[in-house]
Amino acid sequence: MDEITKVVRDYIIREYVQEGDDREISETTPLLSSGLVDSFSMVSLLRFLEKKYAIHIPDADATPEAFDTVQRIVALVRRFHRAGVGSV
């Protein structure tokens, strides 16, 4: 697992997985469609990514589909990071 995937996954586990919830979070675990993260909570996740990687993800790209797995989130971060200052 690369660094960015680990950071995103760890953040989701720390901030969104409840204490009593013993589900495994892999790179392909559904986040929004499973209800683990909802469209309101997505905003704080977006804010974290933008701050951590110094990027701006436009509203049009911050869709529930694009945030539905760690894998997709990482792809989104890489896309906007490349458009900015370099590769992550």
Partner 1 sequence: MRSPPSYQDFTANFDWNVAERELGYRPGSPINVAWMCSDRICQLGLANKFALLWEDYQGNEKRFTYDDVRILSNTIAQFLCMQGIQPGERVCLFLDRVPELYIGFLAILKIGAVAQPLFSAFGDESLLVRLADAGTSAILTQKKHLYKVRKIRNRLPKLRHIIVVDADPTSLQEREISFAMEQAPRVEEFSTYPTTAESPSVLHYTSGTTGQPKGAQHVHYSIIAQYLTAKWVLDLQPDDIYWCNADPGWVTGTSYGIIGPWSNGITQVVLDSGFNAERWYEFIEKYRVTVWYSAPTAIRLLMKEGVEIARKHDLSSLRHLASVGEPLNPEAVLWSEDVFGKPFHDTFWQTETGCIVITNFPGMPIKPGSMGKPFPGITATVLDPKSYAPVNRAGAAGLIALRPGWPSQVRGYWNNEAGFRAKFKNGWYLCGDRASIDADGYFWFMGRDDDVINTGGHLVGPFEVESALLGCPAVAESAAVAKPDPINMEVVKAYVTLKGGFQPSDDLELEIMNSIRKRLSPLAMPQEIEFVDSLPKTRSGKIVRRILRCREFNEPLGDLSTIMED
Site residues, partner 1 (CB under 8 A): 15, 18-21, 30, 32-41, 43-44, 47-48, 51, 59-60, 63-65, 68
Tell the smallest beta-carbon distance from residue 40 to partner 1 (Å).
4
- In order of 24, 26, 34, 84, the CA distances from 77 in angstroms are 22, 17, 22, 11
Q: What burial class does residue 79 get, using C-beta atoms within 10 Å of its C-beta: 0-12 exposed, 13-18 middle, 19+ buried?
A: middle
Q: In angstroms, what is the minimal distance from the CB of 48 to partner 1?
A: 6
- Of 2 and 24, nearer to partner 1 (C-beta) is 24
